[in-house]
Amino acid sequence: MRDTGKHQGLRNQLVSVLEQKGITDKNVLAAIKKIPRHLFLDSSFEDYAYQDKAFPIGAGQTISQPYTVAFQSQLLEVEPEHKILEIGTGSGYQTAVLCTMGAKVYSVERQRELFKTTSLLLPKLGIRPKHLSFGDGYKGLPNFAPFDSVIVTAGAPFIPKPLMAQLKIGGRLIIPVDNEQGIQIMTMLIRKNETQFEKHEFGEFRFVPLLENKN
């Protein structure tokens, strides 16, 4: 679990790249500057960990490109103590960013292999989400609802109703959704009241698909 001055230098460079690409949230940038992304990857990728690229992490999943993590995190407008539901724990890197920003993170992962690995890794790095669970992301975590925001880190064919239902009024749901051409469009829903949501779209992104049921 080594994190060296060289790694820190590479993180500083990555933050500069993200700023050039339009990430302005100081808390997001500070979290990315702090978190050792190379420890979330297979050691064979260590030399590339601070490039703005996605990498495979096992179980057919990927660790998202840092720009994507930063973009989604910025859309959430995280404040300290915010309760955030994360669908797709994956490597735990996005989880770590949100925890470092002061959020209380409740995360769901459907791949048992990833769930086990990440559950062991995060505490070693001093990252303590409120709740990590192995389950079906389409269902969310109704027992812990409502949430200030919900972030989905996989491309969905539609926006799952349970996730909308678990959002506080004024809360934000950030999710990549397939359009008719099968292109994933980053989508934000803001809950206005019990029944109404305001929708915003932010262009094309690439994610692994959001699958139902546990594996």
Q: How confident is the model at residue 43 (pLDDT cuts 50, 70, 90)?
A: confident
Nearest alpha-carbon partner for 207 in 100, 109, 95, 88: 88
Residue 206's contacts (CB-CB under 8 Å, 6 or more residues apart) are 54, 155, 184
Question: Alpha carbon of 175 to those of 17, 53, 103, 178: distances in Å?
Answer: 24, 19, 18, 10
pLDDT, tens digit, 9 for 90 and up, residues 21-30: 999 999 999 9
10 token code pair: 């590479």
CA dist., res. 129 & res. 155, Å (int): 23
Residue 45 has pLDDT above 90, yes or no: no
Rounded Cα distance between 71 and 91, Å, is 18
The predicted-structure confidence for 65-93, as pLDDT tens digits, reads as follows 999 999 999 999 999 999 999 999 999 99
Q: What is the mean pLDDT of the chain?
A: 94
The edge-to-edge listing of strands for the beta sheet with 83-87 is 131-134, 104-109, 83-87, 147-152, 167-178, 184-191, 197-204
Q: Name the pLDDT band for 108 (thresholds 50, 70, 90).
A: very high
Residues 6+ apart with CB under 8 A from 130: 83, 104, 105, 106, 144
Q: Which residues are catalytic?
A: 64
Residue with tokens 């050039």: 20
